[in-house]
Amino acid sequence: MKRSGIAAVLIAVPLLAVGCAPEAPETPATDATVAAPSPSSTTMDGMLPPAIVAPTDLEGTEQRVVLGTSLVLTVPEGTESQWTGTTADVAIAEFNPGGPSEGAVFQPGFLVRAVGTTAATLTGPDGQTISFTIDVVPY
Mean residue pLDDT across the chain? 80
> Is 46's pLDDT higher than 50?
yes
Task: Walk me through the domains of the chain, giving residue ranges and CATH numbers.
Answer: 51-137 (2.60.40.2020)
Binning pLDDT at 50, 70 and 90, where does residue 54 land? Answer: very high
pTM of the model: 0.68
Rounded Cα–Cα distance for residues 9 and 115 (Å) = 69
Q: Give percent above pLDDT 90 in the chain.
A: 65
Higher pLDDT, 75 or 42: 75
Residue range 78-123, pLDDT digits in tens: 999 999 999 999 999 999 999 999 999 999 999 999 999 999 999 9
pLDDT digits (tens, 9 = 90+) for 12-36: 444 444 444 444 444 444 433 333 3
Cα–Cα distance measured from residue 1 to residue 122, given in angstroms and rounded to the nearest whole number:
89
Exposed, middle or buried: residue 23 (CB in 10 Å: 0-12, 13-18, 19+)? exposed
Return the pLDDT at 116: 98
